[in-house]
Structure 1
Amino acid sequence: MAEVRGVVARAKGEPVEVTTIIVPDPGPGEAVVKVQACGVCHTDLHYREGGINDEFPFLLGHEAAGVVESVGEGVTGLEPGDFVVLNWRAVCGECRACKRGRPWYCFKTHNATQKMTLADGTPLSPALGIGAFAEKTLVHAGQCTKVDPSARAAAVGLLGCGVMAGIGAAINTGNVGRGDSVAVIGCGGVGSGAVAGARLAGAAKIIAVDMDPRKLEWARGFGATDAVNAREVDDVVTAIQDLTDGFGADVVIDAVGRPETWKQAFYARDLAGTVVLVGVPTPEMQLEMPLIDFFSRGGSLKSSWYGDCLPTRDFPLLVDLYQQGRLDLDAFVTEEIALDGVESAFHKMHTGDVLRSVVMF
């Protein structure tokens, strides 16, 4: 058992606080990881605002990299000293998706069985089953993916959520291919990841769409060939069509997750094109459209879960590409902050001043 500092959200909408948390020794199938870096993701803010569930108090943080400190009984392939990126979808290997050879859709993902607690014994709900705004965290061993230990923790830890979601939305879900045209609506961390993924896949034209000129400039840095400021055009759909010979893009990725942006994605794709929804809607959002348009346009309408990634396959590959200079993960790290800077980072996220603030330990 260890006493460490961690960032906790005690109640809906209240500022987070740094406090003492208790991390138990790992049980069967579990691991304790000494966290080196953890990105501040919008999902953490969703937890604080009660947008995920009401199981307060939450131990926030989930985009993390660190070193395994100890492992529990029955853990194989993972040892103390291993440098790992944490993931929130540890596949089970036994559900119907895994047995059909589609483990990236695993319907029975694992988290640690034991609970981390406050000093008074109050159980904590770790964000996405990780809880890495803490000096150490307890996870299921399957949530640890070994990667090149010489990689920069602040950069590769971002593969734990947003950047992987974006890259995977393009490569895994959207199946972007060489010579394709791609449009990405919303160019924050996830959208910029989608731009980077489309570039890795060999897309010939990558159109970034956002209302913030700073985000459009960031997207150009990740490989966007064109930028559309949604505030400055009469119609986003027409703007995308104008950049694709009037046809629309082969793949359009909605990294915002609102009915308005999804409709733009739907109508901005070419006939038989693909729409990928990777932005997360809220439960009350509704969509109403003519059913005939779904039939007459053909193609694929997909939702991307975590970029449909398989951590054991995708994390080491992307880290290798990063180490080779072919994927600029460093560019996602806007600032490095201390543990007590998380609340301030939430404010910067709201104002669009950062792609990612990263807590360093």
Structure 2
Amino acid sequence: MPSTVKGVIARGKGDPVELVDIVIPDPGPGEAVVAIQACGVCHTDLHYREGGINDDFPFLLGHEAAGVVEAVGEGVTEVESGDFVVLNWRAVCGECRACHKGQPQYCFATHNATQKMTLTDGTELTPALGIGAFAEKTLVAAGQCTKVAQADPAAVGLLGCGVMAGFGAAVNTGGIQRGESIAVFGCGGVGNAAIAGARVVGATTIIAVDVDDRKLSWAKEFGATHTINSREEDPVEKIRELTGGFGADVVVEAVGRPETYEQAFYARDLAGRVVLVGVPTPDLEVTLPLIEIFGRGGALKSSWYGDCLPNRDFPMLVELYRQGRLDLEKFVSERIDLDAVEGAFAKMHEGTVLRSVVVL
């Protein structure tokens, strides 16, 4: 039987979110219903509310989530009822050209549940990133469920988006290695996850760059060995000073602005790697001298979801957390109820939290 549960929706562009009754259908073939235990409040959810993704309102918000599988549909073998899972927004197809090349982390045909969740009047909801986890239950494609060892859902649920994006930008995309140097521009949740990833793999010089001393203080807690307030000093010159005059081996740009991307470009060593993980708006452009792109060698990369493969990366990161080597709980600034999402958006704007996490 379909379930009626509470969920947080954005009904129109810029409107305050609402806590309403929503209907969750029984899982069909290839689908799963998950009872949500915790879900982080991510900036992407705010983008949905503001119409920055598309205009397919009403949206069922929330996507950084962990919970327990309640039921599965026909043909599902990945998970079963009772499994503790972290949700992801890239259920790989196994059939596209990326999957056939043995690179499923780049799958070009990821998918979501086929059926729609609705309001009680039948209005179809668009789930944020195909998940919609600001709800007591949600319906997803079974491939969006990654079984992991039991752990604090408020902490490990953050692997579903921001933490994985930042960790993967440094480790998967940037290929940071032990003994190397890394600079990270932007020390919110994604940037600090990149810093934490660099520390886990053994980077010896980890430089955090931001305009907010509070965020730089957070960066130190995650493993930054040096901090730079770019309002007060030139980050390119300072990064070179901290790296023997050469620049960093890897530079992660977690802001998504032309100004910071240009700084990241000039702050890398010869043959260094620049990784863009900050999400720019469509109108932004960057101009760089072509001779500098050629002359510096190395690589300019973009990192989408940290180039992750959830069934490979999520269990590994949960195990690092359980071993005390990756402190996911540091990302959890506060635990809130389902009716406090609008207030969490305000705190996000103010920059006073890394992550508010809804706990059900």
Shorter chain as normaliser: what TM range?
Answer: over 0.9
For 2:310 and 2:160, locate their aligned partners in 1 and report how far apart those are by CA, in whole Å.
Answer: 9
- Which residue matches 1:112? 113
Asked if residue 67 in structure 1 is aligned to residue 68 in structure 2, the reply is: yes
Structure 1 residue 275: deviation in Å?
A: 0.2
Q: Which residue is 1:5 aligned to?
A: 6
Q: Is 1:341 the counterpart of 2:318 in the alignment? A: no
Q: Separation in 2 of the partners of 1:239 and 1:45?
A: 34
SS at match of 2:272: strand
Hey, what does 1:355 align to over in structure 2? Answer: 354
What per-residue deviation string (whole Å, max 9, x for no partner) do you get for residues 145-196 of structure 1? 00012x1000000000000000000110000001000000000000000000
Task: State how far apart, in whole Å, the 1-side matches of 2:74 and 2:327 are.
Answer: 38
Residue 283 of structure 2 aligns to a residue whose secondary structure is: coil
1:33-67 Cα deviation digits (max 9, x unpaired): 00000000000000001111111110000000000
Find the aligned partners of 2:287 and 2:230 in 1 and give their Cα distance: 22
Distance 1:259 1:119 in 2: 44
Contact 2:78 2:143 in 1 (8 A): no
Q: What's the CA shift string for 1:323-354, capped at 9, x where partnerless?
A: 01010000000000000110000010011100
Letter of the structure 2 residue corresponding to residue 162 of structure 1: G
Q: Which residue number in structure 2 is paired with residue 203 of structure 1?
A: 203
- Distance in 1 (CA, whole Å) between partners of 2:147 and 2:65 is 12
Measure how far apart 1:110 and its partner are: 1.3
Secondary structure in 2 matching 1:198: helix
SS at match of 1:319: helix
Q: Paired residues, what number?
A: 359
Alignment of 1:230-309 (within 5 A): 230-233=230-233, 235-309=234-308
Give the aligned partner of residue 82 of structure 2: 81
* Counterpart-to-counterpart distance in 2, 1:311 and 1:224: 26
Question: Secondary structure, in 3 states, of the residue corresponding to 2:293?
Answer: helix
- Conserved 8 A contact 2:78-2:142: no
The Cα offsets for residues 58-85 of structure 1, whole Å up to 9 and x where unpaired, read as 0000000000000000001311000000
Runs (4+) off by over 2 Å: none
The residue type paired with residue 327 of structure 2 is D
Unaligned runs of 5+ in 1: none
TM-score by length of 1: 0.99
Amino acid at match of 2:145: C
SS of the aligned residue for 2:81 comes to coil
- Read off the aligned partner of 1:278 and give its amino acid letter: V
Aligned to 1:281, what secondary structure does the other structure show?
coil
Alpha-carbon separation, structure 2, partners of 1:164 and 1:77: 21
1:92 aligns with 2:93: yes
| Residue in 2 that maps onto 1:162 | 162
What is the SS of the residue equivalent to 1:270?
strand
1:279-338 Cα distance to aligned partner (Å, 9 max, x none): 000001011221111111110000001000000000000000100101000000000000
Q: Identity across aligned pairs (percent)?
A: 74
Q: How far apart, CA to CA, are the structure 2 residues paired with 1:120 and 1:210?
A: 47
- Answer yes or no: is 1:319 the counterpart of 2:323: no
| Residues in 2 aligned to 1:100 and 1:42: alpha-carbon distance in whole angstroms | 33
Letter aligned with residue 257 of structure 1: G
Structure 1: distance between partners of 2:127 and 2:292: 42
- Tell me how far apart the structure 2 counterparts of residues 81 and 286 of structure 1 sit (CA, whole Å): 47
Indicate conservation of the 8 Å contact 2:33/2:70, yes or no.
yes
Report the counterpart of residue 171 of structure 2 in structure 1.
171
CA distance in 1, matches of 2:15, 2:352: 22
The 2-side partners of 1:243 and 1:77 are apart by: 47
2-structure distance, mates of 1:178, 1:258: 29
